[in-house]
Amino acid sequence: MAHTSAARTEPNGSTPVVQVRAVTVAFGGLLALRGIDLDIAPGERLAIIGPNGAGKTTLFNVIAGDVTPAGGSVVIKGVECVDRPSRYRPRLGVARTYQKARTLAGLTVRENLYLALAGHRGRHRTLWRSSTDRRMGEAAADVAHRVWLSGQLDAPAGELAHGQQRQLELGMAIATRPDVMLLDEPASGLSRGERERLVELLESFDERLTLLLIEHDMDVAFRVAQRVVVMADGERVTAGTPEQVRSDPHVHQIYLGTEASA
């Protein structure tokens, strides 16, 4: 039976933009998720943390459509998505990033962003330049500005520093004008300085944008998130503000392997 801390809190009274109910996932004989419930409010910044094997990546992939659960419900913006493939999510205003950046190394920052915009708008790039192409090129430059890459527009993506590749991937996601962004360990592999820049960038995003991130770096998770959900052994253990979760003795016990100090 999962422990539920007194610190548990839920989103505000608005209709959830993402609603997960009784989701169960099994891989062979391993029960990876055990009837998970989760509500995410519009504009909320929510982090999911937990030790290795907690089930947080599996839950993330269920929401993203990359894993189909054995049971349960995933409703995004009022639409049941549990049996819909991942390619359906962008139609609902959902974008995601991956642990390893999926940029095209041989193309420039501008070209990567252009292709993200073209894919979202259903266009195919041609040899003929049109006024629409020029406008999309300008839009790509605007997105680069939003993710602090204006000075690297013509740099090949493969030559960017690791942190800048993360910025580009975020740019390719926000180019689709999502309402919900799913961030899969965005701080993975970043240096301390790059993590600081990532946090500042995420904090600069429009407050109406809903962010869901899974993150091993607890400092990043606690700084970005308004609410933190802790998982262990495929179950939701507790949830609360970063301050509540940080001071919860049970979280220290299951996540860090130690009791919280008095």
Total domains in the fold of the chain: 2
**CATH at 31:** 3.40.50.300
26 and 156 both lie in a single domain: no
Which domain covers residue 243, as residue numbers?
1-93+179-262
- Among residues 160, 177, 194, the one where a domain terminates is 177
Please tell me whether residues 52 and 170 are part of one structural domain. Answer: no
Q: Which helix (H) or strand (E) holds 155?
A: none
Pairing of strands 180-184, 94-96: parallel
Regarding whether 173 and 184 lie in a shared domain, the answer is: no
Q: Could you tell me the sign of the dihedral formed by the alpha carbons of 232, 246, 239, 64, in that order?
A: negative
If asked whether residues 188 and 133 sit together in one domain, one would say no
127, 157, 177: which is the final residue of a domain? 177
pLDDT at residue 256, rounded to an integer: 58
**Contact between 81 and 165 (Cβ < 8 Å):** no
Note whether 173 and 186 are same-domain residues.
Answer: no
Answer yes or no: do 260 and 145 share one domain: no
The alpha carbon of residue 102 and the mean position of all alpha carbons in its chain are separated, in whole angstroms, by 14
Identify whether residues 167 and 226 lie together within a single domain. no
Provide the 8-state DSSP code for 9.
-
Q: Where are the beta strands (DSSP E) in the chain?
A: 18-27, 30-40, 45-49, 71-76, 79-80, 94-96, 180-184, 210-214, 227-232, 235-240
Evaluated on CA atoms 220, 68, 53, 38, the torsion sign reads: positive
Q: Tokens for 247?
A: 């001071």
Residue 120 has what pLDDT? 61
| 213 and 86 inside one domain | yes
Q: Are residues 132 and 61 in the same domain?
A: no
Angle 130-132-135 from CA coordinates, rounded to 5°: 115
Task: Render 122-140 in DSSP notation, one character per residue.
Answer: T----SS--HHHHHHHHHH
Q: Give yes or no: residues 22 and 109 share one domain.
A: no
Per-residue pLDDT in tens (0 to 9) along the chain, 262 residues: 444 433 344 555 678 999 999 999 999 888 999 999 999 999 999 999 988 889 999 999 999 999 999 999 999 999 999 999 999 999 999 999 887 777 888 899 999 999 888 876 554 444 344 545 678 788 898 999 999 999 999 999 999 998 999 999 999 999 989 999 999 999 988 999 999 999 999 999 999 999 999 998 889 999 999 999 999 999 999 999 999 998 988 888 876 564 433 3
* Boundary of a domain, candidates 113, 142, 177: 177
Statement to judge: residues 125 and 11 lie in one domain = no
H or E stretch covering 203: helix 192-204
Tell me, what's the pLDDT at 45? Answer: 97
Dmax (CA) for the chain in angstroms is 68
Residue with token string 């939701």? 236
**Residue 33: which residues within 8 A CB-CB, separation 6 or more?**
23, 24, 25, 55, 58, 59, 62, 69, 234
What distance lies between CA 78 and its chain's CA centroid?
Answer: 20
171 and 210, same domain (yes or no) = no
State how beta strands 18-27 and 94-96 pair.
unpaired
Long-range contacts of 120-129 (CB under 8 A, 24+ apart): 120/90, 120/175, 120/176, 120/177
